[in-house]
Amino acid sequence: QVQLVESGGGLVQAGGSLRLSCAASRSIFSINNMGWYRQAPGKQRESVATITNDDTTTYAASVKGRFTISRDNAKNTVYLQMNSLKPEDTAVYYCNAHTFVFRTGWVDYWGQGTQVTVSS
């Protein structure tokens, strides 16, 4: 099992930047995929960016070129650098760990979320 704690959200003007952090309670070295998801009011949760344990990254089309996901295995932390923020990026951002657990199968762990609000 792993607990995830997000931080770094807040209020920022359009065009600004924020860096989100996701601290895990144990080593993330063996976790297959770490990712950031977001959910805006009245909308479904959507994938923003993911990173595998060999550093392969994927991005939603709406954030490609503006957001960067990275992981620091030594600090058990995943980051999301968000630049050129837009009002439509406003949402609660959640950290996710997607990993295979022996005798259980694929398991998802979630953080509690951090609010990002972008003003126009």
- d(CA 63, CA 71) in angstroms, rounded, equals 18
Q: Give the pLDDT score at 101.
A: 87
Asked whether the predicted pLDDT for residue 1 surpasses 90, the reply is no
Strand pairing report for 114-119 and 10-13: parallel
Full DSSP string of 36-95:
EEEE-TTS--EEEEEEETT--EEE-TTTTTTEEEEEEGGGTEEEEEE-S--GGG-EEEEE
Phi then psi dihedrals of residue 66, to 5 deg: -115, -35
- Express each pLDDT in 104-116 by its tens digit: 999 999 999 999 9
pLDDT digits (tens, 9 = 90+) for 37-92: 999 999 999 999 999 989 999 999 999 999 999 999 999 999 999 999 999 999 99
Query: 30-44: per-residue pLDDT in tens?
Result: 888 999 999 999 999
* Opening angle at CA 17, ends 27 and 12, nearest 5: 115
Q: What is d(CA 60, CA 67) in angstroms, rounded to the nearest whole number?
A: 9
pLDDT band, very low/low/confident/very high, at 20 (cuts 50, 70, 90): very high
What are the distances in angstroms from CA 103 to CA 53, 85, 106? 21, 42, 10
